[in-house]
């Protein structure tokens, strides 16, 4: 991922010690640099201590931010003293940026409450937020009302806020590819392209016949096909898989790659179950696994909103996402369940992985037509899930977000699978069923539920349930 860049506004108010603005500016910029972030901020030559107090200083700050609009992912307002509420609000209003905003207030020290060192940032933050609310500008708060910029707690606040910024920026004019039609048996993955478009998310479609038609024109001797075949063999063990099946996968993957590149696609949802197996003779799972593992998420059964959840999780964490089924109970434990897919999970999810055939539909179309799954046990790690859905009846996009962990509990089955533990799982399942969510759930090996909920609720305006 490219470095996140923050526009920084240092608040100041003349009634309070302005030496705190001077040291506060230095502190926040040092912390951001040490944590790997780029910054855009007024210099000490631009305004007194590089802070914003007056209307003229707010205009200078706004002009600077506007000139760097393409690179600024979010704005951080730091209040080393009370800060001027109007100056902060004017700078943000006038810069024209539609990016997330984090408000931080530096705490007072009990032994330094004289006029020389008193901050009153605790109070100033309330006024700054009040002005932003009046202007209809959404913003994000630190977990504690006041927090030191050089504390571990603020480092965590920054990490989450960077995720919020990546999600909001990443969903801006994103393009997803729907390859083929929704399988007839899967009404559950219906969705509204129009509602997605209202949130800036475009779906580019292509008929599966067009993809297969281009595959049929390939001899297999093309350099791109050979490179794809080598990449498949390097990706997972392919012992027992026929050369014919591997070549079909390579051709299919090459054509999909070319289409994705030509249409500037950020993720794909591909038809399966069971036309591609019956009439082409392989499953696309390995190719989808490879795409997801390389941060080009791919969802099966043309589950476009499932793909959207995978992409959001990826933006939050910078790591690959998977799409699984809420599939089975795990014995009598109310907080555990089995997550499963055939599977196309990225190999980074597994303890070990290999290529195999699709056991579920092999009986219907023949084992020789179902080679290409990536199977194994999912590694025990903390996990975040995020499932968006278009609620056509209410004309909104809704989502649920939460965290759990894959465990090492004993399980003997096939495909890609793992045992998941989620506190209050039964409450979550009640919500999923009553609200009509899909049986697919996007997952990512991270702990980013709070950041995702903040991004989707505060900045995207979606209806979000944060499971706790």
Whether the pLDDT of residue 273 is over 90: the answer is no
Which tens digit of pLDDT belongs to each residue from 396-441? 999 999 999 999 999 999 999 999 999 999 999 999 999 999 999 9
The confidence band for 232, taking pLDDT boundaries of 50, 70 and 90, is very high
The pLDDT score that the predictor gives to residue 332 is 98
The confidence band for 146, taking pLDDT boundaries of 50, 70 and 90, is very high
CA distances from 382 to 151, 216, 440, 443 (A): 24, 43, 19, 10
The confidence band for 307, taking pLDDT boundaries of 50, 70 and 90, is very high
Whether the pLDDT of residue 115 is over 90: the answer is no
Residue 5 β-bridge partners? 38
Whether the pLDDT of residue 331 is over 80: the answer is yes
pTM: 0.97
Which structural domains are found in the chain, ordered by start?
Answer: 5-170 (3.40.50.10940), 174-466 (3.40.275.10)
The pLDDT score that the predictor gives to residue 89 is 98
Whether the pLDDT of residue 14 is over 80: the answer is no
With b for 16 or more beta-carbon neighbours within 10 A and e for fewer, the 267-295 pattern comes to: bbbbbbbbbbbeebbbbbbbbbbbbbbeb
Which tens digit of pLDDT belongs to each residue from 36-64? 999 999 999 999 999 999 999 999 999 99
Whether the pLDDT of residue 107 is over 90: the answer is yes
């Amino acid at each position: 991922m490219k470095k996140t860049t923050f526009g920084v506004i240092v608040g100041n108010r003349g009634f309070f010690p302005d030496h705190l603005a001077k040291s506060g500016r230095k502190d926040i910029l040092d912390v951001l640099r040490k944590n790997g972030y780029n910054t855009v901020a007024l210099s000490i030559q631009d305004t007194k201590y590089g802070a914003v107090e007056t209307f003229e200083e707010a205009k200078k700050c706004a002009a600077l931010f506007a000139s760097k609009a393409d690179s600024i992912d979010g704005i951080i307002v730091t209040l080393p003293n009370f800060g001027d509420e109007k100056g902060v609000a004017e700078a943000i209003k006038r810069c024209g940026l539609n990016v997330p905003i984090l408000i931080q207030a530096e705490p007072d020290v009990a032994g330094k409450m004289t006029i020389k060192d008193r901050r009153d940032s605790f109070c100033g933050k309330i006024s700054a937020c009040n002005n932003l609310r009046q202007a209809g500008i959404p913003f994000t708060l630190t977990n504690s009302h006041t927090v030191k910029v050089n504390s571990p707690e603020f480092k965590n606040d920054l990490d989450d806020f960077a995720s919020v910024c990546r999600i909001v920026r990443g969903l801006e004019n994103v393009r997803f590819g729907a390859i083929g039609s929704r399988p007839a048996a899967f009404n559950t993955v219906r969705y509204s392209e129009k509602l997605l478009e209202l949130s800036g998310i475009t779906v580019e479609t292509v008929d599966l016949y067009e993809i297969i038609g281009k595959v049929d024109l390939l001899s297999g001797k093309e350099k791109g096909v050979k490179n794809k075949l080598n990449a498949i063999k390097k990706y997972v063990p392919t012992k027992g898989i026929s050369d014919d099946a591997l070549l079909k996968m390579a051709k299919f993957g090459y054509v999909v790659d070319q289409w994705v590149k030509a249409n500037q696609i950020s993720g794909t949802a591909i038809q399966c179950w069971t036309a591609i197996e019956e009439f082409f003779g392989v499953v696309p799972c390995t190719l989808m696994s490879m795409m997801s593992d390389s941060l080009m998420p791919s969802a099966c059964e043309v589950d476009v909103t499932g793909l959207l959840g995978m992409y959001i999780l990826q933006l939050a964490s910078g790591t690959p996402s998977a799409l699984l089924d809420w599939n089975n109970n795990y014995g009598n434990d109310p907080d555990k369940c089995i997550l499963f897919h055939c599977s196309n999970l990225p190999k980074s999810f597994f303890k070990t992985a290999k290529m195999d055939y699709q056991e579920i539909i092999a009986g219907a179309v023949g084992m020789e037509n179902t080679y290409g799954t990536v199977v194994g046990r999912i590694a025990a790690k903390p996990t975040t899930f995020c499932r968006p859905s278009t609620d056509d009846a209410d004309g909104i996009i809704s989502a649920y977000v939460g965290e759990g962990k894959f465990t090492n509990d004993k399980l003997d089955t096939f495909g890609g699978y793992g045992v998941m533990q989620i506190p209050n799982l039964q409450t979550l399942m009640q919500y999923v069923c009553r609200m009509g969510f899909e049986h697919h759930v996007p997952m990512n090996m991270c702990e980013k539920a709070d950041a995702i909920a903040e991004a989707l609720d505060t900045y995207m305006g979606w209806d979000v349930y944060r499971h706790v």
